[in-house]
Amino acid sequence: MRNRLMTIAGLTVLSCLGGMSPLVAGTVNFQRDIFPILSRHCSGCHGEAEQESGLRLDGGRWAHRGGDRGSAVVPGKSTESLLYRAITGQGDTPTMPPEDPQLSSDQILLIQRWIDDGAHFPADEPEISVRVESDHWAFQPIRRPPVPTVGQTEWVRNPVDAFILARLESEGLVPSPEADRTTLIRRLSLDLRGTLPTIGELDRYLGDQRPGAYERLVERMFASPRYGERWGRHWLDAARYADSNGFTNDGERSIWKYRDWVIKAWNRDLPFDRFTAEQLAGDLLADATTEQIIATGFHRNTLINEEGGTDDEQFRVESIVDRVNTTGAVFLGLTIGCAQCHEHKYDPITQREFYELYALFNNCDEPTLPIPTSQQATSLQNLDVDTQDLEETLASEDAQFMRGFAAWEKTMSGRPLPTWTTLNPTQMKAEQGTVLALLDDQSIFVDSNPSSQDTYTITADVNMERITGVRLEALTHPELPEMGPGLANNGNFVLSEFELLVTPQDSASRSKHEPQVRAFTKATADHSGADYDVQNSIDGDQSTGWSIAVEEGNLNVGREAVFVIAEPIGHQTGSELVIKLHQNHSTADYLLGRFRLSVTSAPPDTLELPPNIRTILATAAQERSSDQQQLLTTTYLATSHKHRSLTKKLAERRTERERLMKSIPTTMVLRRRQEPRQTHIHIRGDFLRKGASVQCGVPAVLPELPVSDAAATRLDLARWLVDPANPLTSRVTVNRFWQRLFGRGLVETENDFGTQGTPPTHAELLDWLADEFVRLDWSMKSLQRVLVTSAAYRQSSAVRGELLQRDAGNRLLARQVRLRVEAETVRDICLSASGLLSSKMYGPGVYPPQPQGIYSFTQRKKSWPESPGENRYRRGMYTFFWRSSPYPFLPTFDAPDANTTCTRRTRSNTPLQALTLANDTVFFDMAQELALRVLTEGPPELQSRIRFVFRLCLSRPAQDSELEHLLRFFTHQHEHFQSNPEMAQAVVPVNCPPHIPHTDAAAWTAVARVMLNLDEFISRE
């Protein structure tokens, strides 16, 4: 039993709100009569979560204790009581409650009499520990009813029929006859697979005259992989699955592995109790497998707001609220969300209980899980082993090499610093027109007209016989963005390649020597950005380069790079140097804004030390920082050939691993948080206004939550949901199965089993099915098998005259129902009839053809890389789903937006739907392919071809009148295209075989369009 600080009795007697029985009886009872009034009208502002003016009214003891203005009640004196004066608007007290609904006169009289009688309340009120009880049908335990006895016993195929027939006989009605075989196979195929039966399947079933032919057909449907796709799509609606994050930004997300898990779970008939546990808490199962962790993606389908200026905590809270609401709707069939801001107005669910459920989801992290293939996993393992071996070898080699560090440091410290001669350019030009200016200090400044990419060519004369290195100084300037030294908006630059050419300075010698490109052995810099090392600028690859680091303290300051020439250059008569600075970064404006060039004749091994290292060497050892000493050690180790070789191999392995990791699919999952959060009630639902703290729990009107650990977890919740003692989960689930197969649930409000929902039309049948589901070990296929093999399911959907008068809504189930199929199925059956439908399963979302310009109207530009090959013709459930702008066909036919859970799609009939089927180029293409299929696969005779297309599209033979109409239509179209060959040419598909006359292909395309636009084609009879 759960302790509750709130008095509980009034929650169960909502019918007493304003009732007159207490007045007649002459007795007023707090729990029965007063508490429901206070709970509904007062606890929002004066409840456990929030107490305005310090006053709490969710219990008699609190009313006596009062608030800032003293006690709310004066026993025996209602006219002196603050509570009574407030509800009657007497004196200077504002009338309460301030908002509708106001108290009725009867309710006010009840409170007055309660106070005048002494304002009694249970003496042990704060400590009482009882369960909330309710006489509402949905909260009653499930008890298996006996199968009723009926008169028309020959109609009954299983207990489902007995319950249906008993009700019909009590109403004086009889069931409809069984539908014909072609209707049954089409109905079964659409309901269980979401596709049309093939000609071969039709012939097999129609030709099977043995007993049990229908049951064998059912088993073939259940065995089809298409079953998991069909029923998985239903579940994905409830799971609010989409491929993007939602809101205006609506960025892409990777969670298709969860979608694939759902399909596989339905196909292998994963028992619903495990199906539930793995989705709510797969990460908490003992020795959880990767697939079980993938299943937790169920609650990662929440929206993510990536817009600027948002509060991360606000949207984390909103995600948890969505998880609570979705769990309540999907598994319990309750509007739990109505208790987020206040007590539920109609059902026995308190605001505290909402946040007790919230607490179960509040201790989750939201990681992204890589899902490598077996080959990728092996490669990853091999790379990790290689990396570890290299790291160990490198550590050993470095330790040995460090023995010479002191001698190296002494040698390098004793060498003089290089002397640099600044170049005085004789010529400066830029290939793309950037204007370069020479400043007084011989630095070069971009004066105007900078281009997005450019190559600077600097020419200078040098009177030196030996040149060993060139220095490039990148300098700041107040006129550059952020002081520079680059032209990018953050002051950065990227030097793609540094090139040096040399010729003799005098013209006589120059005529005998071609300009020579000089190679460099090494490039060093006092700082480089990540992945933009200065060595990249001499690697011959224009796609790499040197830039400075962007982090604070390393940007917008002067930097320098030194390029060590492989062989010293120079001529006795002097040299002309041509230096080219290639800047071809893919992002515009990453050019040097101010720089200076100089040369030296210092020994090459001295130049190989970066300028900042020479500075450190010039600093006394005891005055160096730890960072400087570490940098010096790293520089020394880099002089070792073995160190460089091992470091290079290690970098290659790490790069290879990084590249491999990027290729590995990922999926969004839940994981238990190591440090639990404390959960509080949010006053009026505002996450910034925290009320009382709460622990994990469930509504008290339902069975207690067994706890397997010190604190309840999502796994405890999952097990509680599928505990046979829970009166809701199995009822709600079998009701949805019924809804999918009969068009309407036994409880029509399938997401509201509370007091505001509709009662079941066949309460005993609902309980029998709920109990049977548990007895079948929660096997979803087994329960559905019971439904689809019943005589009730096999009835004709034809409407009989007497039923329209007696039961127009078919709530008594005297017939089956005719329904338009869902959005994805409309497209799937068109692809199926035309022979285009791909059987490929699983994988990332695909991008079938759609009209151009769809995303011209969206705030964030979206890509739609139209899929090639068979991916164009995958089932609709694999289509990439942008929440903010879905594939346009889907919402046209009422597909949900995936922003919240959807347990039942609406069905509208709009002109846009008819126009889409008639004129959308995608469906025109399908009509063309259907025409080619008739001409290539069908019989040669015209009438036989019409019968063939009827079987392809409607799974039944054509009636004589239909045959006559289509013959006449085809003849008219054929004559029209013979008279207008250019129109036939425009209609014929590009892949039309040369032996098929264009007039035939065009006329059959017209016939195919008629078939695909029939209401019967997109209907399930």
- The average pLDDT across 650-661 equals 93
Please report which confidence band the pLDDT of residue 512 belongs to, taking 50, 70 and 90 as the band edges: low
- The whole-angstrom separation of Cα 966 and Cα 973 is 10
User: Would you say residue 530 has pLDDT above 50?
Assistant: yes
Please report which confidence band the pLDDT of residue 10 belongs to, taking 50, 70 and 90 as the band edges: very low
**What is the reported pLDDT for 49?**
66
Question: Do residues 51 and 67 lie in contact, with contact meaning Cβ atoms separated by under 8 Å?
Answer: yes
Please report which confidence band the pLDDT of residue 726 belongs to, taking 50, 70 and 90 as the band edges: very high
Please report which confidence band the pLDDT of residue 210 belongs to, taking 50, 70 and 90 as the band edges: very high
**What is the reported pLDDT for 549?**
75
Count Cβ atoms below 10 Å from residue 481 Cβ, excluding itself: 15
User: Whole-number mean pLDDT of the chain?
Assistant: 90
Percentage of the chain modeled with pLDDT above 70: 94
- The whole-angstrom separation of Cα 482 and Cα 989 is 59
Please report which confidence band the pLDDT of residue 4 belongs to, taking 50, 70 and 90 as the band edges: very low
Count of alpha carbons within 13 angstroms of residue 47, beta-carbon side? 27
The closest alpha carbon to 820, from 907, 749, 883, belongs to 907
Tens of pLDDT, residue by residue over 60-115, are: 767 776 776 767 888 888 888 888 888 888 877 778 888 777 888 888 898 889 88
Parallel, antiparallel, or unpaired: how do β-strands 421-422 and 444-448 relate? unpaired
Q: What would you measure as the largest C-alpha separation in the chain, in angstroms?
A: 128
User: Would you say residue 469 has pLDDT above 90?
Assistant: yes
Give the sign of the dihedral formed by CA 640, CA 641, CA 644, CA 650: negative
User: Would you say residue 3 has pLDDT above 50?
Assistant: no
List, as one string, the DSSP characters of 279-324.
HHHGGGSTT--HHHHHGGGGGG-S-----TT--HHHHHHHHHHHHH
- The average pLDDT across 118-137 equals 63
- The average pLDDT across 589-618 equals 88
Cα-based distances in Å from 276 to 363, 703, 733, 832, 926? 19, 18, 11, 33, 39
Tens of pLDDT, residue by residue over 862-920, are: 889 999 999 999 999 999 999 999 999 999 999 999 999 999 999 999 999 999 999 99
Count Cβ atoms below 10 Å from residue 909 Cβ, excluding itself: 9
**What is the reported pLDDT for 288?**
96
The closest alpha carbon to 1013, from 920, 879, 890, belongs to 920
Q: Residues 550, 552, 558, CA angle at the centre, nearest 5°?
A: 70
Structure tokens belonging to residue 853:
């310009």
Please report which confidence band the pLDDT of residue 122 belongs to, taking 50, 70 and 90 as the band edges: low
- The average pLDDT across 556-568 equals 91
- The average pLDDT across 794-822 equals 95
User: Would you say residue 118 has pLDDT above 50?
Assistant: yes
Give me the torsion for CA of 904, 907, 912, 918, rounded to 10°: 100
